[in-house]
Chain A
Amino acid sequence: MSTAEAAAGRPLPGPGAAEDTGANAAACAHCGLAAPLASIEAGAPRQFCCEGCRAVWAILHEHGLERYYALRAGGAPAPAPVADRLYAELDDAGFQGRSCRPAPGGLLATDLYLEGVHCGACVWLVEKLPGLLPGVAEARLDLPRSQAHVVWDPRVLSLSAVARRLASLGYTPHPCRGQAAQAARRREDRAMLGRIGVAGAVAANVMAIAFALYGGMLDGMEPEFATFFRWLSLVLTAPSLVWSGGVFFRSAWVALRAGTLGMDLPISIGLLVGFVHGVVNTVRGSGEVYFETVSTLIFLLLFGRYLQRRQQRAAGDAAELAASLYPTSARLVEGDGVREVALDALIPGARVEVRAGDLVPADGVIVAGRSTLDLSLLTGESAPRGVRPGDRVHAGTLNLASRLEVEVERTGEETRVGRLMMLMEEHARRRAPIAQLADRISGRFVATVLTLAAITVAIWWRVDPARAFDHAAALLIVTCPCALGLATPLAVSAAIGRAARAGFLIKGGDVLEALTRPGRMWLDKTGTLTAGRAELARWHGDPAVRSLVAAAEAHSAHPLARAFGRALGVPSPGVRLEIAETHGGGIEASVDGRRLVVGSPAFVRGRAGESPAAIASAVDALIADGLTPVLVAVDGEVRAAAGFGDALRPDAGAALDHVRALGWRPGILSGDDPRIARAAGARLGLEEEACRGGVTPEDKLQAVLAARAEGPVVMVGDGVNDAAALAAATVGVAVAGGAEAALTAADVFVVRSGVGRLAELLDGARHTMRVVRRNLVFSLGYNVIGVTLAMTGVLNPLLAAILMPLSSLTVILSSYRARTFTAPAPAGSVAAAPIPAEGAR
């Protein structure tokens, strides 16, 4: 317990958090990040970086749960958000009817998606909920899905109380989306495991019996034993073939009726011929039986398929659950009060409150308040837009600065974002699946094998008609593409598993294959190639006034003011400051007795007169480069011009060079101003016609569809405005930090933001396909040996039983020994790390 106490009293700082902040910096007692100077209390035994962390620490301390800090040693959480929501929508009868199930004893059960769970300590803490909150009977956390299963007594407390308590622990709960689909997939998974269990048990026992028969083959065996063993093998193999192997027959039949030849067809032929041949010879009492090979085949093939599905499912579940993060409630203004209501319950004409940091819940018109909105997820525009009463706002945009009141005009599917989502779903449905390499081979494989079997019969008919069919059957069984059927699933599931650990969630093997065929690659700009926020890009004029600007801007929440703060650092303390901020144009302040005006050219001109010629030409140059100009005047004289832009990520250039080297043709599709798109493209070395600016989400979709007519298209994006294009592309790649809608639309989700790791993804895909091809060569090699043995009449059940597992083993080793997706990240990609707490520098 000593380590636990030490860690609880003096929490370990997060990795690299506190080292570089100097001796007087304090680590937050909850999350371990450096506490900003402003929130440090002199003399207090513990420091916190924010109110959220303080609240969580207090709750844990009050209930004697400090052990959490010992358990989580190593991985520090993000700062806890302040829990101030009521979660009233969870008590809504409609919601409970859809999402809650009754549990024994009059209890109710539901699943909640939790933000911020990341390690074993979170499992421990969440599962302590019944002790923290009387009325909760059980809480189980599914860590990989971030999903908590909660059972509670509705007579004692409401679900919203459970949600509030979870939020107060720092895990913001959300109702789960797509639960029906998830439950269906879970049932399918269980049925598959059951089939594998039966096939495995049968294979092991039939193999044991077969060993006795092999012994008899060498030393002789009394006929009554041989007959008994054969009948026993037959009886055991039958359920495995019918129930477990039924999967292959059904899918082969479906493929045949659709006019295609999948991998399941040769598998089905091999299994059926092997079994029927064995039944005939068992009844006749002479000739070979291959029951052990048939049952082992079924087991191995099912197992390979299960592994592949499990990996793909994990990626699919993660993306679907991330959609739960989309807000489900709105703050309805009624009279003087504000009430939380479910998003579904909003009707046109209602008045909602949108606080700073919240997403706008519906399309509507501002009736009160002024603020700045981040439109980048919806339209791709990088510059934040100032809004005032009378302006129209759209659902899905982010309120950056201050509280707004909005009169709702359209809700749900009728909003702009709702229509975009429907467009996305339509294209996701319409997309034709990509035929995988193994499936394309299988047609030729079937034809070759059947021809060879016919030749075998024809040749042996002249030599010994009685054995002609035996040899042909042996050929069909030994070529039953066990290794061929495993080659792709195993290589792909191994690669997808390693990719997930490297931060790529990949929803299917066909995606990896498609990524190896270069074509057009469209990239979103805002948030994907760039950081998606304004940064100070250029400074013309007197550097001495920078410290004055830093002091004045440190007190504003405007996005440009924050960009000043990031670029210029924290002002020296002890500055005398008086602020008179004017919204929308700029800031007017008195700093140490000097009158400072910072703002748009029009705002500054109105207060400090015309700029000198040097500054005026600098402003023209900034505008020409697509930057937003800001002027600085001190004591009535314009002294400097600053240019703001959404800067390219430092690793974007290297990533695109690599992409081009692999044969792709990258281009930009941006909702931003065409000049800005072209400027970004020029710095990345893209041709001008491949950089389109001012495109709407519908234009993006059209661009992708047009490019699809010419070949494969990869779309890389992060926003709602990219979602339809992501769904329509051959492969859609969503990068982190954007809208959850983009995740559901995409085939690949990159856990880190930015395009820096695109090259790694493409390399990994190429490597995976190399492993797949190597596996296919191995298995075809084994098949050549098997066919030769069968056609020459040398093959017997013992040889078949050795050859089959050996070929599968080769493929398994080849797949799991491959080092796909384990390459170290390129050096430049560390630069796009999340926003550090710069306040303490």
Chain B
Amino acid sequence: MSVMFVLLPVALIFAGCALAVFLWAVRAGQFDDLETPSVRILHDDD
């Protein structure tokens, strides 16, 4: 069971990576406008 002492920090590192990606997306402004991308995605001609 002492594998817990290793596995848990590893899992937390994964979680930390996901959080870092989210924070990057927020800073890059990907959450500023949540409406326009939903119509932009329908334009598939180019």
Measuring CB to CB, which residues of chain A are less than 8 angstroms from any residue of chain B?
67, 71, 119-120, 123-124, 127, 140-145, 186, 189-190, 193-194, 197-198, 201, 204-205, 209, 222, 225, 228, 232, 236
Contact = CB atoms under 8 A, between A and B. Distances in A.
A123 B22 contact: no
Contact of B15 (A71, A127, A201): A201
B23 A124 contact: no
Given A124-B40, A190-B31, A194-B23, 11 more contacts: A123-B36, A127-B40, A143-B33, A143-B35, A143-B39, A145-B33, A186-B29, A190-B32, A197-B26, A225-B1, A228-B8
Interface residues of B, number: 25
B18 interface: yes
A120 B27 CA distance: 26
Contacts of B10: none
A745 to B, nearest CB: 26
Contacts of A140: 36
A190 B18 contact: no
A726 B42 CA distance: 41
Contacts of A127: 40
A231 to B, nearest CB: 11
Contacts of A236: 12
Given A120-B40, A120-B43, A205-B15, A144 B26 contact: no
Interface string B2-37: 001100100110011011001100110101110110
A198 B36 contact: no
A773 B5 CA distance: 48
Given A123-B40, A142-B33, A193-B31, A67 B45 contact: yes
B33 A190 contact: no
- Which of A67, A193, A228, A236 gathers most chain B CB within 10 Å? A193
Interface of B: 1, 4-5, 8, 11-12, 15-16, 18-19, 22-23, 26-27, 29, 31-33, 35-36, 39-40, 42-43, 45
A56 to B, nearest CB: 19
A232 B39 CA distance: 44
B19 A198 contact: yes
A156 to B, nearest CB: 22
A46 B10 CA distance: 68
A123 B15 contact: no
Contacts of A190: 26-27, 29, 31-32
B4 A120 contact: no
Given A190-B31, A201-B18, A71 B26 contact: no
A228 B4 CA distance: 10
Nearest to B33: A142
B10 to A, nearest CB: 12
Nearest to A193: B26
A228 B5 contact: yes
B27 A123 contact: no
Given A123-B39, A193-B26, A201-B18, A232 B8 contact: yes
Nearest to A222: B1
A316 to B, nearest CB: 15
A824 B42 CA distance: 30
Given A119-B39, A120-B40, A228-B5, A205 B12 contact: yes
A142 B35 CA distance: 8
Contact of A142 (B8, B12, B36, B45): B36
Contacts of B16: 201
The 8 A-B residue pairs with the shortest CB-CB distance, nearest first, are: A120-B39, A143-B36, A201-B19, A197-B22, A193-B26, A142-B33, A124-B43, A144-B35
B8 to A, nearest CB: 7
A561 B33 CA distance: 46
A120 B42 contact: yes
A194 B26 contact: yes
14 contacts: A71-B43, A120-B39, A120-B40, A120-B43, A123-B36, A124-B43, A144-B33, A144-B36, A189-B32, A190-B26, A190-B27, A198-B19, A201-B16, A205-B12
Contacts of A204: 15
Contact of A197 (B19, B29, B43, B45): B19
Contacts of A222: 1
A124 B11 CA distance: 43
A63 to B, nearest CB: 13
A226 to B, nearest CB: 12
A127 B42 CA distance: 13
A693 B33 CA distance: 45
Contacts of A124: 40, 43
A183 B39 CA distance: 24
A124 B1 CA distance: 58
- Which of A145, A190, A204, A209 gathers most chain B CB within 10 Å? A190
Contacts of B29: 186, 190
A198 B16 CA distance: 9
Contacts of B40: 120, 123-124, 127
Contacts of A189: 31-32
Contacts of B45: 67
Contacts of B23: 194, 197-198
A236 B26 CA distance: 21
- Which of A124, A145, A197, A228 gathers most chain B CB within 10 Å? A197
Nearest to A204: B15
Contacts of A119: 39
Nearest to A124: B43
Contacts of B12: 205, 232, 236
Contacts of B35: 143-144
Nearest to A205: B15
Contacts of A193: 26, 31
A127 B41 CA distance: 13
B23 to A, nearest CB: 5
Nearest to A197: B22
Contacts of B42: 71, 120
Given A123-B39, A124-B43, A186 B26 contact: no
B40 to A, nearest CB: 6
Nearest to B4: A225
Nearest to B28: A190
Contacts of B32: 142, 186, 189-190
Nearest to A201: B19
A102 B11 CA distance: 42
Contacts of A194: 23, 26-27
Contacts of B22: 197, 201
A225 B43 CA distance: 54
Nearest to A122: B39
A140 B40 CA distance: 10
Nearest to B35: A144
Nearest to A310: B34
Contacts of A120: 39-40, 42-43
Contacts of A123: 36, 39-40, 43
B1 to A, nearest CB: 7
A205 B26 CA distance: 21
A400 B44 CA distance: 45
- Which of B26, B27, B31, B32 gathers most chain A CB within 10 Å? B26
Contacts of B43: 71, 120, 123-124
B34 to A, nearest CB: 9
Contacts of A67: 45
Contacts of B36: 123, 140-144
A225 B1 CA distance: 9
A18 B32 CA distance: 39
A143 B42 CA distance: 14
A489 to B, nearest CB: 18
B17 to A, nearest CB: 10
A194 B15 CA distance: 15
B4 to A, nearest CB: 7
A121 B40 CA distance: 9
Nearest to A142: B33
